[in-house]
């Protein structure tokens, strides 16, 4: 891990230190994905089977997982893991259920009532990555809020063969519609539908660069689907005071680093000594990891920034805008009001990132790559949409009429004024 002294850097060097690696989809990925989407929209299920054989080396008979296969998968899960997933489910459910918004109603002036109502998004697609390790936690992060929202149709897709842990987590969330298809072809199927896979309104979940690019493309296509948020490599920033535990910090950095070689890992502290201790702890800990290769690769781009004081650490954190921000200081809550840009914040020595990844109750689908400046942590709201309602009484309209007609006149929109006039004339006529 490279160490820099913040105050010794020029403004340009400071900017460079916090710069994320470029992340434009290569032209070859863009084209490959466009071609996959075209195949799926024209050939449907046949394309899904062909592409699964090509990319996942799996010959699919049934794209949808049968209820028998689901039952067998669930039965195969060891009891302790079932218990753990149930407890994680319960915490995630408890935090997301508290996000239910009540309808809003305001009488803005006599007889003029304005309201806001929420509705579940009707059909949602939940993408769960496959690969080296199954991610049942991601199933919970998408399955729980979609259940609470009341989405009528929830369609889970994941590359074949689907791990039993994923099926069990889905069953906890009441999801019974699972398709064994992954990659850009799964995203295309969700966005446009095939004979087997239903078209959905919005697609959620993380994936590799093909999945990310496919989500981007279908979100831009007329008749495609909305998506949860733009994606980028995962990140953690730890800000820590001199009394922080170097072993804890190193462990947190590594839990991010093991996700992938492109993971971004940064520690910011006013203590030069702590920065060195973290470096030593990293060396000790990384050797013992089963994914040491991946973590070591990520650590090559990682950085320790030594700053003046904790106030400056918060400033640096706000410039960077990390997906995960861990605050290991004596009174971590004192900095909360100053934290402007982060995906999820972990306060204090006893709150490692992994609790939020799995089981504290917060959602682990978070904006990354600086998108925290405008995007939010995934929440119940992302599975709903809101619309306004207004209802005026006859008196309410009479009271508001002069305002509406004056502005309509200023905007030169006669018919807008006339929609009020025909009504006020009718009211006068009926008097």
In whole angstroms, the minimum distance from the beta carbon of 59 to a second copy comes to 26
* Total of chain residues touching a second copy, rule CB under 8 A: 128
Closest alpha carbon to 178 in 165, 36, 133, 96:
165
Interface with a second copy includes 35 (CB under 8 A)?
no
| Rounded Cα–Cα distance for residues 167 and 308 (Å) | 49
* Of the candidate residues 121, 191, 267, 299, the single one contacting a second copy (CB under 8 A): 121
Query: Which region holds residue 154: left if phi is over 0, alpha if psi is between -120 and 50, else beta?
Result: beta
What residues have CB less than 8 Å from 67, skipping those under 6 apart?
Answer: 176
Residue found by looking up tokens 């230190």 in the block: 17
- If you ran DSSP here, which 8-state letter would residue 64 be given? B
In whole angstroms, the minimum distance from the beta carbon of 77 to a second copy comes to 9
Interface with a second copy includes 88 (CB under 8 A)?
yes
What residues have CB less than 8 Å from 107, skipping those under 6 apart?
Answer: 113, 114
Interface with a second copy includes 114 (CB under 8 A)?
yes
Interface with a second copy includes 137 (CB under 8 A)?
yes
Interface with a second copy includes 233 (CB under 8 A)?
no
Query: Which element (helix H / strand E) includes 347?
Result: strand 344-347
Catalytic residues: 323-324
The reply to whether 235 sits in an annotated binding site is no
* Of the candidate residues 30, 32, 196, 226, the single one contacting a second copy (CB under 8 A): 226
* Of the candidate residues 248, 264, 274, 316, the single one contacting a second copy (CB under 8 A): 248
* Of the candidate residues 6, 192, 210, 358, the single one contacting a second copy (CB under 8 A): 358
Residue 221: Cβ within 10 Å count: 14
Interface with a second copy includes 348 (CB under 8 A)?
yes
The reply to whether 256 sits in an annotated binding site is yes
Closer to a second copy by CB, 311 or 419: give it.
Answer: 419
For 60-94, b where at least 16 C-beta lie within 10 A, e where not — what string?
beebbbeeebbeebbeebeeeeeeebeebbebbbe
Tokens of 51: 């592409």
Interface with a second copy includes 351 (CB under 8 A)?
yes
Window contacting a second copy (CB under 8 A); options: 52-60, 177-185, 187-195, 406-414: 406-414
Closest alpha carbon to 299 in 267, 259, 263:
263
The CA angle 137-164-194, to the nearest 5 degrees, is 90
| Residue 214 CA to its chain's centroid (Å) | 16
Tokens of 355: 């609790």
Write the binding mask 364 to 403 for a second copy: x where contact by CB under 8 A, - elsewhere: ---x---xxxxxxx-x-x---xxxxxxxxxx-xx--x-xx
Interface with a second copy includes 343 (CB under 8 A)?
yes
In whole angstroms, the minimum distance from the beta carbon of 177 to a second copy comes to 19
| Rounded Cα–Cα distance for residues 209 and 23 (Å) | 10
The reply to whether 418 sits in an annotated binding site is no
Tokens of 48: 């899904």
Closest alpha carbon to 368 in 265, 226, 215:
265
Window contacting a second copy (CB under 8 A); options: 5-13, 54-62, 114-122, 271-279: 114-122
Interface with a second copy includes 133 (CB under 8 A)?
yes
Closer to a second copy by CB, 181 or 282: give it.
Answer: 282
Window contacting a second copy (CB under 8 A); options: 2-10, 21-29, 42-50, 300-308: 21-29
Closer to a second copy by CB, 257 or 306: give it.
Answer: 257
The footprint of a second copy on residues 255-314 (CB under 8 A) is: 255, 257-259, 285, 288-291, 295
Please enumerate, by residue number, every residue annotated as part of a binding site for Zn(2+): 256, 259, 357, 416
């Amino acid at each position: 891990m490279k160490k820099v002294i913040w105050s010794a850097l020029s403004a340009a060097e400071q900017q460079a230190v916090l710069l994320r690696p470029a992340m434009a989809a290569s032209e070859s990925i863009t084209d490959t994905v466009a071609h996959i989407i075209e195949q799926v929209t024209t050939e449907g299920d046949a394309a899904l089977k062909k592409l699964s054989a090509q990319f996942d080396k799996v010959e699919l008979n049934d794209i949808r997982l049968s209820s028998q296969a689901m039952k067998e998968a669930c039965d195969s899960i060891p009891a302790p893991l079932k218990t753990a997933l149930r407890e994680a489910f319960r915490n995630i459910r408890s935090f997301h259920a508290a996000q239910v918004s009540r309808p809003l109603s305001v009488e803005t002036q006599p007889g003029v009532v304005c309201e806001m109502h929420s509705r579940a998004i009707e059909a949602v697609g939940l993408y769960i990555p496959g690969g080296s390790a199954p991610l049942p936690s991601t199933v919970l992060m998408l399955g729980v809020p979609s259940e609470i929202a009341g989405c009528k149709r929830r369609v889970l897709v994941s590359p074949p063969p689907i791990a039993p842990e994923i099926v069990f987590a889905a069953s906890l969330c009441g999801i019974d519609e699972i398709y064994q298809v992954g990659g850009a072809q799964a995203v295309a199927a969700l966005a446009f539908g095939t004979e087997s896979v239903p078209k959905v309104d919005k697609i959620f979940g993380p994936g590799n660069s093909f999945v990310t690019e496919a989500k981007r493309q279908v979100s831009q296509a007329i008749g495609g689907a909305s998506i949860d948020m733009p994606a980028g490599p995962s990140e953690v920033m730890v800000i820590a005071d001199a009394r922080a535990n170097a072993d804890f910090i190193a462990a947190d950095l590594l839990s991010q680093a093991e996700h992938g070689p492109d993971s971004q890992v940064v520690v910011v502290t006013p203590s030069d000594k702590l920065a060195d201790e973290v470096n030593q702890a990293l060396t000790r800990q990384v050797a013992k990891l089963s994914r040491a290769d991946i973590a070591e690769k990520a650590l090559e781009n990682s950085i320790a920034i030594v700053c003046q004081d904790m106030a400056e650490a918060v400033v640096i954190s706000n410039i960077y805008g990390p997906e995960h921000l861990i605050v290991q200081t004596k009174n971590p809550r004192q900095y909360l009001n100053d934290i402007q840009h982060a995906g999820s914040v972990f306060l204090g020595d006893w709150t490692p990132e992994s609790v939020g990844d799995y089981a504290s109750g917060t959602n682990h689908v978070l904006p990354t790559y600086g998108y925290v400046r405008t995007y939010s942590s995934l929440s119940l709201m992302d599975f709903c949409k809101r619309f306004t309602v207004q209802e005026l009484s006859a008196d309410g309209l009479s009271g508001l009429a002069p305002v509406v007609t004056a502005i309509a006149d200023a905007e030169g929109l006669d018919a807008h004024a006339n929609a009020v006039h025909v009504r006020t004339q009718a009211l006068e006529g009926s008097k």
